[in-house]
Amino acid sequence: MPYENEHDTSKLLRECDAGIKMGITSLEDVIPKAADPELEQILKQSRQEHIRLRAETERQLNRIKDKGRSAGAMAKSMSSLKTQLTMQTGDDTDAAMLVTNGCEKGIRTLNKYLDKYHYADEKSKRLTNELIAAEQQLVSELDSFRN
């Protein structure tokens, strides 16, 4: 069991690491495009929360002597291209939809990994649930911009 615990902990934290990095990059791509000051503030606050979660993820990865991982180059390129194309002619509604879609995908993915890596330690599971909650909070806060 100890090996499974270490393996699952490492894998779960790596997935959190990659997702957080992708989320921060996406938020940084969208923030300059936000016209509404309230939307811009929501996105900036979420970026700060993601940065905080990234630091905690890094601490946990260091604890188990793991370097983490970044999202794949193809995924990052596709996300960046989608953001650029959407925001060329898009407005705040499009920005909110773009971020919401990313959050919803992240939530589904993290829940899948929580199930897959069920031997992960409680600290990494708690961090994953914090990240899911942050994504859900952002979706909720963006609700008024999607209508």
The CATH number of residue 125's host domain is: 1.20.1260.10
**Which range marks the domain in which residue 33 is found?**
2-146
CA-based nearest residue to 42, from 139, 147, 146: 139
What is the pLDDT at residue 5? 86
In the chain, the number of structural domains is 1
Q: What is the mean pLDDT of residues 55-74?
A: 84
Cα 128 to chain center, whole Å? 10
Q: For the chain, what is the mean pLDDT?
A: 89
Q: In terms of C-beta distances under 8 Å and separation of at least 24 residues, what long-range contacts does 42-46 make, across chains too?
A: 42/138, 42/141, 42/142, 43/95, 43/99, 46/134, 46/137, 46/138, 46/141
pTM of the model: 0.89
